[in-house]
């Protein structure tokens, strides 16, 4: 039986829909009353592990889950040895640098050297500013990152932006994108090499199911 | 404050140590049968040696604070190859050497914290033999050693075999600049990156089909022959496979030829191997190795005391992974508990203890006298002793 790690939160509904299109029913995960963290599909072909976003690549890299669905942003931040198999197309957002709307800075490269940048994604931020050759002081936060510039703790933030509404309501504006992120199907490289065909078959079915979503 | 071992360092209990010791001795017994001699390379080497000519990323090395750039070994091969080139000038070739011991790797955890990972490795190196016979001997020895470990059919041992030259030949037709990204994507099984490269190759699906090319050696060789023509490397590989298949079949080890497989450390430039077993929940890699001629060439310079032919093959078992597979928690030799009643003097108990030892029976002493046999039985059961010798009424 294949074990698939699915991320709680925004990606879950689309992940369940994607697997349903490939004939695997994980809809029990969407029941409001569900408290189970490991749910087998009724067909007996696979079981789902319900884990936090950042833990999906961890379960997959250790091999406890052969496959997983997680955002590209998480893969970029954690850099674990997992194989990227498919772009599932949903969960689109941007990793962006944002500053106060009243700030004079309009490009990341305009930010002053050694300024403070608050982020949940400090590794992505570090790589980005290293690439710009701009030394910055990174402040790791675990949420409500928008408060960084509002309170004056940081000049800018690096955060995920889906619609831009949260930024706008907090008086911030995105000035540059690091990358565009969508949900990815990832796999354990060793399990993929030892696969007797089950995983490859499922990847093919998911690829076929993901195509219409990309077009839409 | 609780005193804990450093993060990543191992604090093994007696049962784990006993399990590891038995595996190390079993493997050593096989290595000796094949004429390999034990060496004991240092745990500390210069970073230049440890990096193995760029095969091992600097951030994976545990560095020491010292005047010289030193670190702890992340594997045994580079140290043994270095020692063979500088210290074994008077030995006839080829050199057959084995070693076991701790290795240390540095991992970067979340929030950028460095963790040290300690493992026990046991392996062999065959140096100075450039011919195909060394590859065959290495695999046959790996199979013989695997056969000695007591693996069960449910462990489904599979030997993944790849070849640096094969991957090189498959990537050669690619336009300049695409070879490296394609290699990285193929070896890390990154299907999305390959898809991104496809348009530059006219969307032929060639690269993606390479990612699916693996399986039974003869079938994969036939497919490779169709792609690459009748090249000598394929003939050699076919010969190696012919020579190791009977031994693998005899031991129930599945052989899988996987042209895009490369091990984690980039030491190798010829044949590469990884032995994987099915654990209780996940596949567990228990051994890996391959041919590392360029590494030997790097150490074997005119400045070194001898010029070894630039040829070397070797493998290493991860002893703790093997123990996880083959040793149940009940394993380990049980001792006999020697206990006495209040009327029996300590001398009598000590004499009985040593008489058991002289017969080769492991026995331990209950120092304090117990009021009756049932109290001694309770202690024996609590300590996990297999038997009780009661000296009393």
Together in a domain, A84 and A131: no
| B381 is a domain residue | yes
Angstrom distance (rounded) from CA A139 to CA B222? 56
Angstrom distance (rounded) from CA B177 to CA B196? 14
> Which tokens sit at A57?
């690549």
Q: Calculate ∠ Cα B264-B269-B275, nearest 5°.
A: 45
Other Cβ atoms less than 10 A from the Cβ of B64: the count is 12
Tens-digit pLDDT profile for residues A20-43: 999 999 999 998 888 888 899 999
Write out chain B residues lying below 8 Å of A62, CB-based. 282
Buried b (16+ CB within 10 A) or exposed e, B356-384: beeeeeebeebeebbeeeeebbeebeeee
What pLDDT score was predicted for residue B48?
A: 85
Boundary of a domain, candidates B269, B297, B326? B326
The H or E element containing residue B51 is none
**A78 Cβ under 8 Å from any chain B Cβ:** yes
Angstrom distance (rounded) from CA B250 to CA B143? 10
Domain containing A78 equals 2-91+182-210
Together in a domain, B237 and B292: yes
- Closest partner residue to B283 (CB to CB) among A81, A123, A194 is A194
Angstrom distance (rounded) from CA B273 to CA B162? 6
Mean pLDDT per block of 10 residues along chain B (393 residues) reads 70 88 96 96 89 82 90 91 81 91 84 81 94 96 95 93 93 87 92 89 82 93 92 94 96 95 87 93 92 86 65 95 76 81 92 92 91 92 90 87
Structurally, chain A folds into a number of domains equal to 2
> Which tokens sit at B233?
């490397």
Angstrom distance (rounded) from CA B160 to CA B274? 5
Tens-digit pLDDT profile for residues A120-176: 999 999 999 999 999 999 999 999 999 999 999 999 999 999 999 999 999 999 999
> Which tokens sit at B248?
């693998």
- Closest partner residue to A64 (CB to CB) among B111, B282, B285 is B282
At how many degrees (to 10) do helices B232-251 and B217-228 cross?
170
Together in a domain, B161 and B237: yes
DSSP of chain A: -EEEEEESSTTHHHHHHHHHHTT---GGGG-TT---SEEE-TTSSEEEEEE-GGGHHHHHHHTSSSEEEEEHHHHHHH--S-EEEEE---S-EEEEEEEETT-S--SGGGSPTT-EEEES-HHHHHHHHHHTT---EEEE-SS-TTHHHHHTS-SEEEEEESSSHHHHHTTEEEEEEEEEE-EEEEE-HHHHHH--SHHHHHHHHHHHHHHHHHH-
Structurally, chain B folds into a number of domains equal to 2
| B331 is a domain residue | no
How far off is chain A from B271, nearest CA to CA, in Å? 17
Buried b (16+ CB within 10 A) or exposed e, B226-240: eebeeeebbebbbeb
| B160 is a domain residue | yes
> Which tokens sit at B96?
């057959």
**B189 Cβ under 8 Å from any chain A Cβ:** yes
| B247 is a domain residue | yes
| A215 is a domain residue | no
The confidence band for A216, taking pLDDT boundaries of 50, 70 and 90, is: very low
User: By CA distance, what is A65's nearest residue in B?
Assistant: B282
Cβ B191–A191 below 8 Å, yes or no? no
- Closest partner residue to A190 (CB to CB) among B111, B214, B285 is B285
| A81 is a domain residue | yes
Which of B57, B155, B192 to mutate to test binding with chain A, by most A CBs within 10 Å of its CB? B192
Buried b (16+ CB within 10 A) or exposed e, A116-153: bbbbbbbbbbbebbeeeebebebbebeeebbebbeeee
Together in a domain, B48 and B145: yes
Together in a domain, B353 and B292: no
Identify the three-state secondary structure at position B250.
helix
Whether residue A213 is predicted with pLDDT greater than 50 in this model: the reply is no
Together in a domain, B27 and B137: yes
Cβ A187–B276 below 8 Å, yes or no? no
Would you say the C-alpha torsion B376, B377, B380, B385 has a positive or negative sign? positive
Beta strand A183-187 with A67-71: parallel, antiparallel or unpaired?
antiparallel
Together in a domain, A118 and A194: no
C-alpha distance from residue A215 to each of A115, A211, B197, B241, B349 (Å): 41, 7, 21, 47, 84
- Closest partner residue to A84 (CB to CB) among B112, B190, B214 is B190
Together in a domain, A187 and A147: no
Cβ A81–B188 below 8 Å, yes or no? yes
**A144 Cβ under 8 Å from any chain B Cβ:** no
Write out chain A residues lying below 8 Å of B214, CB-based. 193
Together in a domain, A87 and A192: yes
Tens-digit pLDDT profile for residues A36-83: 888 999 998 999 999 999 999 999 999 999 999 999 999 999 889 999
Any idea of the CA torsion for A113, A116, A122, A124, to the nearest 10 degrees?
-40
Cβ A86–B191 below 8 Å, yes or no? yes
How many C-alpha atoms does B318 have within 13 Å on its Cβ side?
A: 19
Together in a domain, A102 and A206: no
Cβ B193–A84 below 8 Å, yes or no? yes
Together in a domain, A131 and A144: yes
Give B325's DSSP letter. H
8 Å CB contact between B106 and B114: yes
| B209 is a domain residue | yes
Together in a domain, B304 and B383: no
Which of B107, B155, B186, B191 to mutate to test binding with chain A, by most A CBs within 10 Å of its CB? B191
What pLDDT score was predicted for residue B267?
A: 85
| B313 is a domain residue | yes
| B195 is a domain residue | yes
| A216 is a domain residue | no
**A211 Cβ under 8 Å from any chain B Cβ:** no
The confidence band for A18, taking pLDDT boundaries of 50, 70 and 90, is: very high
| Length of chain B in terms of residues written | 393
Together in a domain, B30 and B97: yes
Together in a domain, B106 and B235: yes
Which of A84, A181, A202 to mutate to test binding with chain B, by most B CBs within 10 Å of its CB? A84
Q: Calculate ∠ Cα B265-B268-B274, nearest 5°.
A: 65
Instruction: For residue B135, give the CATH number of its domain.
Output: 3.30.930.10
Write out chain A residues lying below 8 Å of B59, CB-based. none
Boundary of a domain, candidates B281, B298, B326? B326
Together in a domain, B194 and B322: yes
Write out chain B residues lying below 8 Å of A78, CB-based. 110
**A189 Cβ under 8 Å from any chain B Cβ:** yes
Beta strand B283-291 with B312-318: parallel, antiparallel or unpaired?
antiparallel
- Closest partner residue to A194 (CB to CB) among B111, B276, B281 is B276
The confidence band for A214, taking pLDDT boundaries of 50, 70 and 90, is: very low
Together in a domain, B183 and B209: yes
Q: Cα B307 vs. chain centroid, distance in angstroms?
A: 28
C-alpha distance from residue B158 to each of B33, B161, B210, B253 (Å): 24, 10, 20, 6
Domain containing B318 equals 14-326
Which of B282, B287, B318, B321 to mutate to test binding with chain A, by most A CBs within 10 Å of its CB? B282
Together in a domain, A87 and A193: yes
Would you say the C-alpha torsion B362, B367, B371, B375 has a positive or negative sign? negative
Boundary of a domain, candidates B275, B299, B326? B326
Together in a domain, A147 and A195: no
> Which tokens sit at B10?
């191992």
Together in a domain, A173 and A194: no
Cβ B160–A193 below 8 Å, yes or no? yes
Write out chain A residues lying below 8 Å of B160, CB-based. 193-194
C-alpha distance from residue A105 to each of A95, A163, A174, B55, B268 (Å): 18, 21, 10, 43, 49
Together in a domain, B128 and B236: yes
Together in a domain, B346 and B368: yes
Together in a domain, A106 and A176: yes
**A92 Cβ under 8 Å from any chain B Cβ:** no
Instruction: For residue A124, give the CATH number of its domain.
Output: 3.40.190.10
ipTM over 0.90? The verdict is: no
């Amino acid at each position: 039986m294949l074990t698939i790690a699915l991320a709680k939160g925004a990606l879950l509904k689309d992940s369940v829909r994607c697997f349903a299109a490939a004939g695997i029913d994980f809809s029990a995960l969407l029941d409001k009353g569900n408290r189970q963290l490991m749910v087998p599909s009724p067909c007996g072909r696979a079981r789902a592990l319900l884990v936090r976003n950042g833990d999906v690549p961890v379960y997959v890299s250790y091999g406890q889950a052969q496959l997983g669905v997680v955002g590209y942003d998480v893969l970029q931040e954690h850099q674990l040895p997992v194989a990227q198999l498919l772009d599932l197309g949903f969960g689109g957002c941007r990793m962006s640098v944002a500053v106060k709307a009243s700030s004079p800075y309009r490009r990341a490269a305009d930010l002053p050297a050694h300024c403070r940048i608050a982020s949940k994604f400090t590794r992505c931020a570090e790589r980005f500013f290293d690439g710009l050759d701009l030394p910055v002081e990174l402040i790791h936060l675990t949420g409500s990152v928008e408060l960084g510039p509002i309170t004056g703790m940081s000049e800018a933030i690096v955060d995920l932006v889906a619609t831009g509404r949260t930024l706008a309501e907090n008086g911030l504006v995105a000035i540059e994108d690091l990358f565009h992120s969508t949900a990815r199907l990832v796999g354990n490289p060793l399990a993929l090499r030892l696969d007797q065909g089950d995983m490859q078959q499922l990847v093919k079915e998911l690829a076929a199911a993901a195509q219409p979503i990309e077009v839409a | 404050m609780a005193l804990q071992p450093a993060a990543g360092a191992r604090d093994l209990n007696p049962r784990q140590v006993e399990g590891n010791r038995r595996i190390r001795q079993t493997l050593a017994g096989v290595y000796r049968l094949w004429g390999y001699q034990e060496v004991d390379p240092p745990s500390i080497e210069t970073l230049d040696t440890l990096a193995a000519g760029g095969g091992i990323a600097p951030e994976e090395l545990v560095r020491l604070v010292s005047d010289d750039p030193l670190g702890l070994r992340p594997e045994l091969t580079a140290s043994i190859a270095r020692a063979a080139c500088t210290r074994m000038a008077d030995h006839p070739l080829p050199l057959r050497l084995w070693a076991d011991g701790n290795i240390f790797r540095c991992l970067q955890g979340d929030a950028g914290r460095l963790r040290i990972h300690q493992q026990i490795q046991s392996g062999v190196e065959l140096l100075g033999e450039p011919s195909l016979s060394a590859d065959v001997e290495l695999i046959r020895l790996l199979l013989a050693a695997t056969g000695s470990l007591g693996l069960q059919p449910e462990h489904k041992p599979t030997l993944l075999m790849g070849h640096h030259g094969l991957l090189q030949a498959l990537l050669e037709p690619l336009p300049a600049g695409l070879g490296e990204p394609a290699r990285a994507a193929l070896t890390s099984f990154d299907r999305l990156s390959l898809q991104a490269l496809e348009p530059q190759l006219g969307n032929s699906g060639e690269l993606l089909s390479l990612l699916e090319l693996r399986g039974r050696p003869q079938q994969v060789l036939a497919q490779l022959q169709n792609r690459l023509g009748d090249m000598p490397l394929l003939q050699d590989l076919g010969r190696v496979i012919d020579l190791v298949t009977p031994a693998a079949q005899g031991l129930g080890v599945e052989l899988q030829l996987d042209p895009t497989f490369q091990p984690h450390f980039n030491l190798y430039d010829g044949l590469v191997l990884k032995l994987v077993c099915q654990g209780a929940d996940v596949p567990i890699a228990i051994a890996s190795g391959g041919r590392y001629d360029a590494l030997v060439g790097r150490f074997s310079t005119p400045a070194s005391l001898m010029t070894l032919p630039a040829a070397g093959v070797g493998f290493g078992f991860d002893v703790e992974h093997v123990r996880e597979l083959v040793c149940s928690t009940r394993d380990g030799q049980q001792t006999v508990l020697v206990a006495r009643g209040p009327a029996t003097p300590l001398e009598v108990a000590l004499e009985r203890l040593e008489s058991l030892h002289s017969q080769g029976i492991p026995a331990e002493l209950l120092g304090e006298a117990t009021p009756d046999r049932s109290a001694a039985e309770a202690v024996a059961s609590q300590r996990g002793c297999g038997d009780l010798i009661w000296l009393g009424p």
